[in-house]
Amino acid sequence: MSLRIAAGSAHPGLAGAVAKLLGTEPVPGELARFPDGELRPAVGHLRGGDVYVIQPTGPPVSDHFLELFLLLDACRRAGAQRITAVVPYFGYARQDRRSQPGEPVGARVVADALAASGAQRLVVIDPHTVALEAMCGMPVEMLTAVPVLAQALAPDVPGGAVIVAPDLGAVKLAERYASVLQRPVAVVRKTRITGAIVRAEEIAGDVAGRPAVIVDDMISTGATIEAAAQVVRAHGGTCHTVAATHGLLVGGAGQRLRQLPTSRVVTTDSLPQGHTSSPALHAESVAPLLADAISRLHHDQPLAGLRAPA
Ligand code: R5P
């Protein structure tokens, strides 16, 4: 089987960088749009190929998912022998349960649609929930960008620093940073009021007099990070650095990040960057991580060292 990289329109720059590291180029493709908005992607020759379709599902999330479903089906019909959906940022993962009656379980719906479209395996990076694996009938490879981000932070992290999880869901992630950086962990108790409004009042752990490194899986509106920074300061700490794998950066995130009393906000290029300007914002590339994972999967080798620990 020959290795083939197919790129959706969500992040051609990342797909190109991954393909280059693998010594190839994305297969030619095009994305047409009917006058009513319908998408019609097309892929080139793929017969017998081991195909990796790279499409992070940032905004517009639903359009990017639908394009991915169509692309997967196009690959299957073009004769691909094995199809892997590479979705570095997996949208809808926050809808992993019903928070009130009458809601859908959005993550399950898109997982089912991926499988129905032809994906035989899924590769993601630091998904919002590890429950994604249980929701998917296909094998799910959960890679982690924590070592990449922690290494980028390490030279600037002061001795007395503490790693801060801005909510309970981020505790495991914070523990992974803490293990690489050899620092203790503190945890903020957050309540989400609406999609863009959160309240954080308490913190478990000692932050008084310490610089805090606040870590999360994603920054969407920045409200969670802003609230965590306020709690840290209210308890006598300082907000030193922020790190998050996925920089969605929507709905006023740019302004919130600019106002944060921190010198550095580090994310990755799992999503296209550049639409939010902040001198403190810096993105590490996940292209080497993805290229390494794809190369090993293609050669049926284990992903030891690239996967998030259970
Ligand atoms: C939620 O639990 C996630 O881990 C993030 O904390 C959240 O999605 C970030 O969103 P925002 O930046 O809008 O607060």
Q: Is residue 205 part of a domain?
A: yes
Statement to judge: residues 156 and 138 lie in one domain: no
Q: Is residue 271 part of a domain?
A: yes
Statement to judge: residues 73 and 20 lie in one domain: yes
Cα 219 to middle of ligand 1, angstroms: 6
Statement to judge: residues 155 and 105 lie in one domain: no
Expressed as residue numbers, the domain containing 25 is: 3-144+288-298
Q: For ligand 1, say whether the CB of 141 is within 6 Å of any of its atoms.
A: no
Cα 74 to middle of ligand 1, angstroms: 33
Q: Is residue 8 part of a domain?
A: yes
Q: Tell me which residue has its CA closest to atom 10 in ligand 1.
A: 220
Q: Is residue 244 part of a domain?
A: yes
pLDDT, one tens digit per residue, over 209-225 is: 999 999 999 999 999 99
3-state secondary structure of 113: helix
pLDDT of residue 17: 98
Helix ranges restricted to H, 165-286: 171-181, 223-234, 253-259
Q: For ligand 1, say whether the CB of 267 is within 6 Å of any of its atoms.
A: no
Compute how many other C-beta atoms are within 10 angstroms of the C-beta atom of residue 12: 16
Q: Is residue 305 part of a domain?
A: no
pTM of the model: 0.96
Statement to judge: residues 138 and 167 lie in one domain: no
Q: Which residues contact 20 (CB under 8 A, 6 or more apart)?
A: none
Statement to judge: residues 257 and 206 lie in one domain: yes
Distance CA 220, CA 222 (A): 5
Distance CA 268, CA 264 (A): 13
Q: Tell me which residue has its CA closest to atom 5 in ligand 1.
A: 218
CATH code, domain carrying 24: 3.40.50.2020
Statement to judge: residues 139 and 269 lie in one domain: no
Compute how many other C-beta atoms are within 10 angstroms of the C-beta atom of residue 50: 19
Q: For ligand 1, say whether the CB of 50 is within 6 Å of any of its atoms.
A: no
Which ligand 1 atom sits closest to the C-alpha of 221?
Answer: 13
Q: Is residue 304 part of a domain?
A: no
Statement to judge: residues 158 and 110 lie in one domain: no
Distance CA 136, CA 118 (A): 13
Is 190 designated active site? yes
Statement to judge: residues 66 and 195 lie in one domain: no
Cα 232 to middle of ligand 1, angstroms: 17
58 token code pair: 């940032």
pLDDT, one tens digit per residue, over 94-134 is: 999 998 999 999 999 999 999 999 999 999 999 999 999 99
Q: How many domains does the chain have?
A: 2
Statement to judge: residues 67 and 131 lie in one domain: yes
pLDDT tens-digit profile, the chain (310 residues): 999 999 999 999 999 999 999 999 999 889 999 999 999 999 988 999 999 999 999 999 999 999 999 999 999 999 999 999 999 999 999 999 998 999 999 999 999 999 999 999 999 999 999 999 999 999 999 999 999 999 999 999 999 999 999 999 999 999 999 999 999 999 999 888 887 788 888 999 999 999 999 999 999 999 999 999 999 999 999 999 999 999 999 998 989 988 988 879 999 999 998 766 677 889 999 999 999 999 999 999 999 999 988 7
- Of the candidates 113, 120, 26, 112, which has an alpha carbon nearest to the alpha carbon of residue 80? 120
Statement to judge: residues 130 and 171 lie in one domain: no
Q: Is residue 303 part of a domain?
A: no
- Of the candidates 250, 205, 259, 249, which has an alpha carbon nearest to the alpha carbon of residue 227? 259
